[in-house]
Each structure stands twice: as C-alpha cells, then as structure tokens.
Amino acid sequence: MYDLKDQKNDQILKNIFKNLSEHEINFILKMSFIKKYQKGDLILNKENCRDAVYILLDGIIQIGYLSPSGRFHAFNYFSEKSPINLLACINEQVIDYDYYAFNQVKILHIPIAIFSKEIGHNNALKQDALDILSLRMQYLLQQMKFLQVANLHQKICKTLLDLSHQYGQKHPLGTEIRLKISQHDLADLLSSSRQTINKEIKSLTSQDVIFWQYENIIIKNYEYLKYQINRI
C-alpha cells in the first residue's frame, strides 16, 4: 500500500493533482500501491495499459517497440513525475508501444476502477487530467513543428540540449548527461541510421561542442547548440 508518511512521494502527487483536496488525494492513495521495477523490466504494454493509472515517482522509462529481430527501439525517454498512461485510461484505447525501465523505477498504481469512479463525478480530477493532457499536446505540436523544418544537424543539437536539461549535471568540462545512451539509441530517437549519426557526432566533437566516448556525453558549448536551433 502507499506510504502516506513518505513526504517526497506525497508532494509529487499533490503537484500532479493540483485541484484535489488533501482528503481526496488521501482517499485515492489509500486504494493504491507502489511497485518497483529493475532495469530492463517491462512496465507497460497493450496487455495491461488500462489495468491502472501508472504514475512515475522515480527513475527513467524507455518508450518504444520490439523489432521482428527482437531488438528494442526507443523513440522516447520519460522521467517526468506524472501519469504515463493517462490517455489510454481515459479514452479506453490500447497502446501499440512498450514501456521499459531504463534504470530502477518506482511506479504508483491507481486501480482503474478507483480512478474511473472518481473522475466520473469529480470535476477537480477531470480538470487535472485535462491540464496534463493539454500540456502534452502543446509539447507534441511544438516538437512536430520543429521536426518538419529542422535538418538532421539541428535535430541532433536540440536532442542533446533537451537531454542536458532533463538529465544534466555539472562537470569540469561543461554539463554531463546522466542518461547513458549510445549513438544507436540516438539514431532511434531521430529515425536515422547509426552511420549518419556517427558522422554528425564526429563533426560536433571536432568543433569541441561535445565530448562523446561510448555512452558518456558532455556538452561543452551550449551556445553553439542554441545557435543552431535558433537558426530555424
């Protein structure tokens, strides 16, 4: 069961359900539970996407699909402390991609029966859900607009900049990205080939914009990345 004494997790839920009273939050949480996942564990797919509302409390999730050869292709990484399958739980549509734990992940499970009952008569919860989905839609539209007009070099610059904002930590050379991804992973994110990505990374490295060795990435020149993005 959910530990109401855990103030960190309690605050996460209050940040998500901004329009709910403390009493309403506590009622939902008393009916929920927390599950931990280890790196590589399958968290969510079309089979269980509507069993419960899954709220990420800690860790990083890979979102993608398995190819016929059995290789997992990630097209997004998710670390925002918020619901990860809210739309599927509301519109009753199954998802056609998979969520895997990229590292140790902690998920709050709100049973779908409890969530559906509450959202059916609670206008405050409806507003919270609408706010979350609206913000995500706005972000997706911005991403689509950028991807339509940007070239590959600009897409790489923006991806590295976004990753540094989400997973960056200070380093003597600049900002180190804590998310350990390979050039193959970056190619999946940008729907490109590893060979093409490798060529672009070599160019950025030779210009001293980044340091990249295996899965260790350090941003050394933020201004260059910003300049390339702002050229659009």
DSSP letters spanning 3-16 = -TT-HHHHHHHHHH
Distance of CA 174 to the CA centre of its chain: 24
Along the 232 residues of the chain, how does pLDDT read in single tens digits? 555 456 777 788 889 999 988 888 888 888 999 999 999 999 999 999 999 999 999 999 999 988 888 788 899 999 999 999 999 999 878 888 999 999 999 999 999 999 999 998 999 999 999 999 999 999 999 999 998 999 999 999 999 999 999 999 999 999 999 999 999 999 999 999 999 999 999 999 999 999 999 889 999 999 999 999 998 7
Structure tokens at 15: 């940040």
Which amino acid does the sequence have at 180? K
Using CA atoms of 212, 218, 221, 223 in order, give the dihedral in degrees to the nearest 10. 110
Please give the domain boundaries of the chain with CATH numbers for all domains. Answer: 7-146 (2.60.120.10), 150-230 (1.10.10.10)
Spell 215-232 as b/e; 16+ CB within 10 A means b.
eebbbbeeebbeebbeee
